[in-house]
Amino acid sequence: MRSGHVNGLVILALALGMIGVTGGPGVHWAAAQEPPQQQQRRQQEQAPERQQPPAAASLANQWVVSSLAGRLATDRQGPAGLSVYFGDLHSHTGYSDGVGTPADAYAYARQQGGLDFLALTDHGYMVTPTPAHWLDTLKEADRFTEPGKFVALTGVEWTNSSDGHINVFTSRQEHPDRDQQPTYLSLYQYVKDRPDTFAEFNHPGFDIQRNWDAFAYYPWADGAVVTLEVASGPYPHNLKYESSYQLALARGWHVAAVGVSDVHQWAWGTATPSRTGVWATALTRPALVEAIRARRTYASEDANVRVWFSADGQPLGSVLSLPYGDPRSTTISFDAQIWDPDAQDRVRQVELVDQSGQVVCAWRAGEQDSPALQQAQGLELQATVHPTSSYAYWYLRVEQADGDRVVTSPIWAQAPGPVFAHDLESGPAPMKATQPAWVQGSLVNLGSADAQVRVELVRAGGVQGAGEELLAASPTPLSVKGQESVPFRLEWTPRLTDMGRQDLWVRVATAAASADGAAGTAAAKQEGWYPLTVQVYPATLPELWIDEGHNNRGTGQSAPLQKALLQAGWDSQVLSEGWQVEGPAAWDRAAAVWVGYPESGFSLLPTTFSQAEMEAVARYVQGGGVLILAGGAGDEDGLAELDRLGQAVGAHGRLSALPGVQSAGALAVWYRVDSAGSLEASPGPQPGTTSAEQLVAVEKGLLMAVDASVVQLPRADGSPEAAEPRTQVLAVTEHDQVYAAAEPVGRGWVIWLGSAGWLGPEQSAGQERGTDNLRFIKALSQWIERQRQRLQERPQHQPEAPPQQQAVAHSQGVDRG
């Protein structure tokens, strides 16, 4: 969705009801009410990060790797008497919005597609009006199923245009219907009431659906939804939903990883090499369904790679038991076996990922490996890991030499329960010393009886009580009903001595309720422990204001920028409406103001800067502020409006091409960041050469054109800055075009950027080159800090008045709002 459309909805909500927010004395802005879907996505993007366990818990973990040569047969046989079978759990026919009939699909999948099993999941709302189609699907599934040769599965895809799509697998003559089950909760209940039916989360991308209220967790429905499409789409390399998989698991869902095609063409089994691998006792319908419900599956972009994953002898999908108390006192032994019948498909890397999304064990193929291992067609990896939580899980992530990836179902390790803490978060971001902070999450009761629970936030060197400090606790025990969950929130205030990284624990003590409802005393062995790492910052941080009140490019997408700034020790605020300024003192809090170019076209927000706004920004810059003007490709009117703002401030740079200066067009650009984090001009790497500096790539976009003869003119007023260098070139493109430049104006600076660098496409461009664009943002913040420090050291003088005449001249141009 273009930002203009999003902002149109925002301002429409604003017209219906606006929440006013005061941003310090003298300056006011408003936070508009957003449409629910955009609000949910923004909250997800900008929410405090999921907390990581103490790093020391996993430092010693290492894979021990050996070759499987001579120890693994070339057939499907694996450990524990199981064999692996490959198929597709999401496909369509002409009975909904695909092609062909069920007979066509099953025959093609078996003969041309080479699948061991295929599930047809036509859209339920299209199948319901024609019951004969559903009955024909059931009949053809029975006809094409041949034990040991091929298994045909049946189901329907339940669709909700807002919440998302869910496959429901069943062999009954009845099937769910969105008119009868209009909400995902009613669908969960439908599946739960039918033990021979199970469900799957489909293509769970937040760009197309709300994902069932961001995977809101209901313990009573946990056994109903069994699988999640980590890989989905009728094309190669479709494993793109791992982050959604991690979120669902963190919420508490016990779901298995699958890879599907969602094919609507005559290509069942050939649209993509991606498969679901299933470890089953036999290729029969009952055995296959049993294996899927037991979560013995993995999502693979390769059509035939065998991946086995176990812990303490139990296969993927299992739930192991942890003792109460310190989870780190336990060790779990993992075993992974990877083998591909295609000799060229060797393993590039193997990673063990834990419940925080962190890699706790990694092996990457390299020259340090033995010759036998370098040539191995199959590998076995073993590791011993200490759990870091009373509710822990791990899954395997594999990458082959050709880039194909595999993600397995998890193996869980849980204390006896029945109550667990999930989804821990802390805030606010940034968390500051001497200011109120909080920790929150959910208590989930997987048992049938009600439980009384006490929740505490502690700091402890060891969780057995040595050096323990109680930071916060629930004032009374919380009541959690069986098969339900309740939120909890603990508040505390970090001290000045707490600045930096803090490894904390949430302790959950469960006691059975007495007959009169009072809570009993919880013994130490009934305590569960959950790690939480926070970063505490100083009470005062430099602050960046981000303009989103002019339909700016990147509106609603500033979370990566804010995250990078926070990592650099900066706070940030989003200005979601225009700048309503009552005096220059109101701007003192802002170390810098970031303005992306206004996008013209349909918008209910203004796409021009008012005279009052330009005068306020000019006073801010002349008095020592930093104004960042970020351009990009695509909107000449928006770039011209940003140039107009720069002129009003008194700057000479331009984002739109100047006469006689060739625009770089769609050339990739590079930043160079030295080891100290400083920005340097760099023409980028020359062919055949290497550089020790970190090169950071950004989006292909329209680049700034700077007329050096203009911006390097000395000041004529004799001010102290006159003898200093004028424009500083911060970064240039690989074709010697200026990309980023800082121009002194009055006591402040105007920084011109060719693009933002932190938007999704820009980050992707950097990732393709193995770099991180956000490093530039961090380095830029450090550059600004150095200039602010120098400003404090300079003798004070009266700042220039803003160039009113120039501003007025430009304000008489065409109004593009």
The string of DSSP codes covering 755-780 is S-S-SHHHHHHHHHTT--THHHHHHH
Tokens 């009266």 correspond to 798
324 confidence band (pLDDT: 50, 70, 90): confident
Strand partners, 339: 306, 378
> Residue 161, Cα to own-chain centre: how many angstroms?
22
796 confidence band (pLDDT: 50, 70, 90): low
The answer to whether residues 253 and 81 touch, using CB atoms and an 8 Å cutoff, is: no
| pLDDT score for 795 | 58
| pLDDT score for 715 | 40
Q: What is the mean pLDDT of residues 15-44?
A: 29
Helices (H), 282-364: 285-293
| pLDDT score for 781 | 86
730 confidence band (pLDDT: 50, 70, 90): low
More reliable by pLDDT, 534 or 560: 534
Cα distances (Å, whole numbers) of residue 197 to 193, 224, 290, 366, 641: 9, 8, 11, 46, 59
Kind and range of the H or E run holding 805: helix 804-811
Joined tokens for residue 518: 């009072």
| pLDDT score for 630 | 87
What DSSP letter does each residue of 82-93 carry, written as one string? -EEEEEES-B--
Cα distances (Å, whole numbers) of residue 631 to 641, 702, 703, 756: 10, 7, 8, 7
Buried b (16+ CB within 10 A) or exposed e, 12-30: ebbeeeeeeeebeebbbbb
Sheet holding 485-492, edge to edge: 419-427, 437-445, 485-492
Report the candidate in 325, 532, 527, 501 with the shortest Cα–Cα distance to residue 439.
Answer: 532
Report the candidate in 384, 370, 265 with the shortest Cα–Cα distance to residue 335.
Answer: 384
The yes-or-no verdict on residue 522 having pLDDT over 80 is no
**pLDDT per residue as tens digits for the range 386-437:** 999 999 999 999 999 999 999 999 999 999 889 999 999 999 989 999 999 9
Report for 70-74, 451-455, 759-763: range of highest mean pLDDT: 451-455
> Residue 724, Cα to own-chain centre: how many angstroms?
44
- In 637-764, the DSSP E strands lie at 669-673, 679-680, 694-698, 728-732, 738-745, 748-753
710 confidence band (pLDDT: 50, 70, 90): very low
What three-state secondary structure class fits 502?
Answer: strand
Torsion-angle region of 151 (φ positive above 0: left; ψ -120 to 50: alpha; else: beta):
beta
| pLDDT score for 518 | 43
Report the candidate in 506, 529, 509 with the shortest Cα–Cα distance to residue 326.
Answer: 529
pTM of the predicted structure, to 2 decimals: 0.75
Q: What percent of the chain has pLDDT over 70?
A: 73
309 confidence band (pLDDT: 50, 70, 90): very high
The yes-or-no verdict on residue 664 having pLDDT over 50 is no
Distance CA 10, CA 553 (A): 15
The answer to whether residues 436 and 457 touch, using CB atoms and an 8 Å cutoff, is: no
Which phi and psi angles does 56 have, rounded to 5°? -60, -20
Report the candidate in 265, 251, 260 with the shortest Cα–Cα distance to residue 215.
Answer: 251
Strand partners, 88: 118
- Count of C-beta atoms within a 10 Å radius of residue 78: 19
Report for 272-286, 589-603, 608-622: range of highest mean pLDDT: 272-286
State the chain's mean pLDDT as an integer: 79
Distance CA 117, CA 617 (A): 64
| pLDDT score for 805 | 32
| pLDDT score for 417 | 81
| pLDDT score for 130 | 95
Report the candidate in 219, 218, 166, 241 with the shortest Cα–Cα distance to residue 197.
Answer: 166
8 confidence band (pLDDT: 50, 70, 90): very low
Tokens 């693009």 correspond to 755
The yes-or-no verdict on residue 221 having pLDDT over 90 is yes
Joined tokens for residue 497: 């001595």
Instruction: Report the amino acid identity of residue 803.
Output: P
| pLDDT score for 731 | 56
**Contact partners, residue 410, CB within 8 Å, separation at least 6:** 249, 257, 295, 316, 317, 393, 394, 395
Q: What is the mean pLDDT of residues 610-619?
A: 90
The yes-or-no verdict on residue 755 having pLDDT over 90 is no
Return the minimum-mean-pLDDT range out of 27-31, 52-56, 264-268, 379-383. Answer: 27-31
Q: What is the mean pLDDT of residues 227-243?
A: 97
Joined tokens for residue 101: 């009939």
Angle in degrees, 0-180, between the axes of helices 611-622 and 636-649, rounded to the nearest 10: 50
Kind and range of the H or E run holding 191: helix 184-192
| pLDDT score for 721 | 46
Helices (H), 64-101: none
Joined tokens for residue 794: 């300079």
Structural Rg of the chain based on CA atoms? 30
- Per DSSP, 494 falls in state -
Return the minimum-mean-pLDDT range out of 336-345, 402-411, 432-441, 753-762. Answer: 753-762
CA neighbours closer than 13 Å in the CB half-sphere of residue 706 = 31
The yes-or-no verdict on residue 645 having pLDDT over 90 is yes
Q: What is the mean pLDDT of residues 524-550?
A: 88
Distance CA 640, CA 649 (A): 14
Q: What is the mean pLDDT of residues 4-11?
A: 29
The yes-or-no verdict on residue 95 having pLDDT over 70 is yes
What DSSP letter does each residue of 33-63 carry, written as one string? PPPHHHHHHHHHHHSPPPPPPPGGGTTT---
Provide the pairing of β-strand 378-385 with 332-339.
Answer: antiparallel
Buried b (16+ CB within 10 A) or exposed e, 382-401: ebebbbbbbbbbbbbbbbbe
The yes-or-no verdict on residue 487 having pLDDT over 90 is yes
| pLDDT score for 744 | 83
| pLDDT score for 727 | 58
Tokens 């009072």 correspond to 518
Distance CA 222, CA 506 (A): 24
Helices (H), 348-499: 371-374
More reliable by pLDDT, 722 or 188: 188
